[in-house]
Chains A and B, each alone.
Chain A
């Protein structure tokens, strides 16, 4: 799966859980500062992403995923 495809599917998950328009979920955006997603929604996004992409995103790793791009790269590296 190409990074663009991961980004697209991740954006859909973010939209479903946090109500942020998928089109706004772009790599340079910070989950917390730009998209206003709180720590509990991040957990829900991680759980869904784990199911979707077949990767593990432990809570201590999750804390390091500041931007959408960080998350896409992390998922790509673990697949």
Chain B
């Protein structure tokens, strides 16, 4: 015993908010016709099954950390901050080419954030919502002041180019948000969870190529995800009719639309905007939600003050959702 009676804690903040967003996509566009030259598929089939018209593919020298850093720089700039204003970097990813080193320390260095607290989160397609929830609570608890949250994926390394079920879906890119303190809470509590008993629905075949049980994943996503989103609303004290913009993970346009339909059956408005970024971006896993948000802000489909409902879901299985007031 040293006789200490109490420890000094860092002061936290009453709430948090998104200060800025950013995204990055490789220049190379892969159309459905491009894919049809390599695998047995066609434009109509792909549009009907997954709703994708084109997606982006990283160049051989375009690394996951390069894309993540580009999105991160854009988010810091959008927030009107200097890199030195940020103290922590969390990267959500499930497609790093190697286990070591992680992506976050390198991305922090590339963005110019010195000595950042930095760690990666792997919750697959739910990763951004997990990381944003962690960031928000780090700030509220006083452990961090401003956190750069990045979702970055490079599926080029992990998708069998001859796999007609998955090569049409997955794509490369990054999205990011800077989260900081706020007197008025603008990020609601995260609702998260997992279903490890269903782990075999999405896994790495031969430890090499991503594989998913399409029908079973579709059934899970179209029935189990909407209740998670509704729970996030409930915890935040809002109703489905309060939601201005729904941003589900961009897994498959039919899953996105099924989630929206379920929320509308629970009272969400017909004029609720529903993210459909997958149509021109493909499924970018942990990058899809921040990328969609950034694209929709740039396109004027999301306005400052809008009530956003974010919900991520994917391998694990894992899922997470939260309500955000748009910056």
Which residues in A have some Cβ–Cβ distance to B below 8 Å?
A: 38-40, 42-44, 46-47, 59, 62
A40–B223 touching, CB < 8 Å: no
Task: Give the nearest-CB partner of B219 in chain A.
Answer: A43
Task: Give the nearest-CB partner of A39 in chain B.
Answer: B215
A43–B49 touching, CB < 8 Å: no
Asked if B48 is at the interface (CB within 8 A of a chain A CB), the reply is yes
Interface of B is mostly: helix
A43–B48 touching, CB < 8 Å: no
A47–B223 touching, CB < 8 Å: yes
Interface of A is mostly: helix
Q: What are 21 contact pairs spanning A and B, CB under 8 A?
A: A38-B49, A39-B214, A39-B215, A40-B49, A40-B214, A40-B215, A40-B218, A40-B254, A42-B215, A43-B215, A43-B218, A43-B222, A44-B222, A46-B219, A47-B219, A47-B222, A47-B223, A59-B213, A59-B215, A59-B216, A62-B215
A44: chain B residues within 8 A (beta carbon):
222, 258
How long is the Cα–Cα vector from A63 to B101 in the complex, in angstroms?
43
A47: chain B residues within 8 A (beta carbon):
219, 222-223
* Interface size of B in residues (CB-CB distance below 8 Å): 12
Q: How far does the Cβ of A55 sit from chain B's closest Cβ, in whole Å?
A: 15
CB-defined interface of B258-301 with A at 8 Å, one 1/0 digit per residue? 10000000000000000000000000000000000000000000
Which residues in B have some Cβ–Cβ distance to A below 8 Å?
A: 48-49, 213-216, 218-219, 222-223, 254, 258
How long is the Cα–Cα vector from A32 to B152 in the complex, in angstroms?
38
How long is the Cα–Cα vector from A43 to B220 in the complex, in angstroms?
10
Q: How far does the Cβ of B70 sit from chain A's closest Cβ, in whole Å?
A: 34
How long is the Cα–Cα vector from A57 to B29 in the complex, in angstroms?
40
A46: chain B residues within 8 A (beta carbon):
219
Q: How far does the Cβ of A18 sit from chain B's closest Cβ, in whole Å?
A: 11
Q: How far does the Cβ of B262 sit from chain A's closest Cβ, in whole Å?
A: 11
B49: chain A residues within 8 A (beta carbon):
38, 40
B216: chain A residues within 8 A (beta carbon):
59
How long is the Cα–Cα vector from A43 to B218 in the complex, in angstroms?
8
How long is the Cα–Cα vector from A59 to B201 in the complex, in angstroms?
12
Task: Give the nearest-CB partner of B258 in chain A.
Answer: A44
A59–B48 touching, CB < 8 Å: no
How long is the Cα–Cα vector from A59 to B214 in the complex, in angstroms?
10
B219: chain A residues within 8 A (beta carbon):
43, 46-47, 59
Task: Give the nearest-CB partner of A46 in chain B.
Answer: B219
